Amino acid sequence: MISKRKTSTAIKYLFRYKSNMSHDIDHELNEIMAKKRNELMGKAQLSDSKKNTITSPIVLTDLNFDNVVGQYLLLVVDFWAAWCGPCRMVSPIIEQLASEYAGKVVFGKLNVDENPRISSTFGIQSIPTIVIFKNGKAIDAIVGAVSKSHMQSTISKYLANWKSFVKEALIKAFIGKRLM
């Protein structure tokens, strides 16, 4: 017959072993979850950075304009035409700025001859006209061919508040998810 003392000692060892084993399993699970969380966050950051680093102007049309304008915090749209000499002077500047401001500002080009609906919606009568959109709303415009430095200074006014743009967008996204 086994004594009570040996039984209680055996039970203590069993509980300790089970407790240690449970602790080891919990620790291992936490490590696995942390590793997976880091992997997923890394993937999310990569996909976000790919989305936000558009390095050349987006071609805008009557069909995709509303969708694209609402998609970006700060969008600069060049309203142009193929026959327009000043538009051809501005085009390389827009290309350069799209590359320089990649990740902060998205640039788009809309041919007014091929897309009359959007052109008339914004009352575009002279080209080139560069319109700056913040959160889907037109907030500023530059009419005519201007220098790169002039465009940079105009865009910079809206980049000075870049952190507040991002904060505002995050709050809107968070509130939108909470309401769903």
Rounded CA separation 33/36 (Å): 5
Residues 6+ apart with CB under 8 A from 55: 98, 99, 102
User: Within 10 A of 171 (CB to CB), how many other CB atoms are there?
Assistant: 10
Residue 146: half-sphere exposure toward Cβ, Cα within 13 Å: 15
175 classed as catalytic: no
Choice among 60, 74, 84, 155 that is catalytic: 84
177 classed as catalytic: no
Choice among 54, 77, 87, 93 that is catalytic: 87
Rounded CA separation 44/159 (Å): 24
Work out the end-to-end distance of the chain between its first and last CA atoms, rounded to an integer number of angstroms.
66
Strand order in the sheet with 74-80: 58-60, 106-111, 74-80, 129-134, 137-143
Q: Give catalytic residue positions.
A: 84, 87
